[in-house]
């Protein structure tokens, strides 16, 4: 049955309604975690066909696409079928997708080659810049995000355990942006964390850091305020993901290459971060950023931030 469904999903071999129904059944299997027969069928399928199928699956769930899904399209129908089969106990809608990718990677000698070739690392990058938001439900809370982050970390532990997959991961931008959680034991290069992130962001398209800025602001406003915008939060910037957040906001706010609108949006989030955490913590983060950043570059960043703040001051009346 699994092989038949895989065959029917092929483009141009069957009518669109028939192909859609086959894909709906496949997506439902992934959502319900009933993939044992599907995995067996994938193992005997041509690698090109498997890559095409997984690429289509990831394209449907890509956070940068799901916000613009049009009703009555193929992707919309597949997402609807997926959501209908999700268990109410899933902490995040995309957790079954990540676990399915890991199951494929560990299922055969060629498993990780398939996973790395189908766009899974780009998919992780887009999950990261969207702050692991669950776009398929209205319940995205810090716990839901941290649950998917933990699922992704488990996936990456398996990736790093495979030598060829590890090399591919280390050559991808996500390896330098992903938070330095201890369980991953990510190797650091000669660059400091600040310089490392700055160089990677410079290689990415504007939509990536636009999403990063937007997701940070949503987190700070919708989650961190929690009904009391005056109360300081007990968080530490020594947590890897939070220091990375500060570094990105400083770089985006003080960048001379971004347009003013983008820089102002980053500065707005930087101000929100500053008002929500303890001053000692914020000062520690600034000092660490200065220590890890070339003096000339740091001077340019802070000069640009001051320039942006100057524009926000009310004009004196004459």
Q: What's the confidence (pLDDT) of residue 134?
A: 86
What pLDDT band is residue 301 in, cutting at 50, 70 and 90? Answer: very high
Query: Is the pLDDT reported for residue 19 higher than 50?
Result: yes
Query: Is the pLDDT reported for residue 125 higher than 70?
Result: yes
Which residue bears the tokens 């599907």?
38
Q: What's the confidence (pLDDT) of residue 72?
A: 46
Query: Is the pLDDT reported for residue 227 higher than 60?
Result: no
Q: What's the confidence (pLDDT) of residue 232?
A: 63
The Cα–Cα gap between 262 and 258 comes to: 6
Query: Is the pLDDT reported for residue 158 higher than 80?
Result: yes
Asked if 187 and 180 touch (Cβ cutoff 8 Å), the reply is no
What pLDDT band is residue 1 in, cutting at 50, 70 and 90? Answer: very low
The Cα–Cα gap between 34 and 39 comes to: 10
The Cα–Cα gap between 19 and 17 comes to: 5
Q: What is the mean pLDDT of the chain?
A: 83
User: For 171, what's the count of Cα atoms within 13 Å in the CB-facing half-sphere?
Assistant: 7
pLDDT tens for 178-224 read: 988 888 877 666 568 888 898 899 899 888 888 999 888 888 776 66
The Cα–Cα gap between 305 and 256 comes to: 10
Query: Within 161-239, where are the H helices?
Result: 163-170, 174-177, 193-203, 206-218
What is the widest separation between alpha-carbon atoms in the chain? Answer: 80
More confident residue, 82 or 66: 82
Q: What's the confidence (pLDDT) of residue 48?
A: 86
More confident residue, 178 or 108: 178
Q: What is the mean pLDDT of residues 60-64?
A: 86
Q: What's the confidence (pLDDT) of residue 139?
A: 59
Burial of residue 191 (CB within 10 Å: 0-12, 13-18, 19+) is middle
The Cα–Cα gap between 142 and 224 comes to: 9
Which 8-state DSSP code applies to residue 87? -
DSSP 277-299: B-HHHHHHHHHHHHHTS-HHHHH
Q: What's the confidence (pLDDT) of residue 42?
A: 87
Q: What is the mean pLDDT of residues 287-294?
A: 92
Query: Is the pLDDT reported for residue 121 higher than 90?
Result: yes
């Amino acid at each position: 049955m699994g092989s038949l469904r895989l065959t029917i999903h092929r483009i141009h071999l069957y009518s669109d309604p028939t192909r859609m129904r086959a894909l709906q059944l496949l997506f439902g299997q992934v959502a319900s975690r009933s993939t044992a027969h599907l995995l067996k069928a994938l193992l005997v399928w041509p690698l090109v066909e498997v890559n095409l199928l997984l690429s289509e699956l990831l394209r449907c769930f890509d956070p940068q696409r799901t916000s613009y899904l049009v009703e009555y399209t193929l992707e919309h129908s597949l997402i609807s079928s997926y959501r209908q089969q999700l268990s109410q106990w899933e902490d995040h809608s995309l957790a079954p997708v990540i676990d399915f990718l890991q199951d494929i990677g560990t299922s055969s000698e060629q498993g990780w080659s398939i996973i790395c070739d189908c766009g899974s690392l780009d998919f992780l990058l887009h999950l990261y810049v969207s702050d692991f938001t669950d776009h398929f439900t209205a319940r995205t809370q810090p716990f839901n995000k941290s649950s998917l982050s933990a699922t992704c970390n488990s996936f990456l532990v398996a990736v790093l355990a495979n030598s060829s997959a590890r090399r591919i991961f280390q050559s991808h931008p996500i390896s330098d942006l992903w938070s330095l959680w201890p369980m991953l034991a990510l190797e650091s290069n000669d660059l400091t964390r600040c310089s490392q992130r700055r160089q990677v962001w410079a290689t990415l398209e504007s939509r990536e850091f636009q999403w990063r800025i937007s997701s940070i602001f949503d987190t700070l406003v919708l989650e961190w305020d929690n009904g009391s915008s005056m109360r300081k939060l007990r968080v530490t910037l020594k947590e890897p993901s939070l220091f990375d957040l500060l570094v990105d906001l400083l770089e985006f706010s003080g960048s001379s290459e971004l347009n003013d609108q983008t820089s102002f949006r980053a500065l707005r989030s930087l101000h929100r971060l500053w008002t929500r955490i303890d001053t000692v913590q914020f000062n520690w983060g600034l000092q660490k950023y200065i220590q890890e950043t070339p003096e000339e570059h740091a001077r340019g960043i802070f000069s640009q931030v001051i320039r942006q703040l100057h524009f926000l001051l009310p004009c004196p009346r004459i």
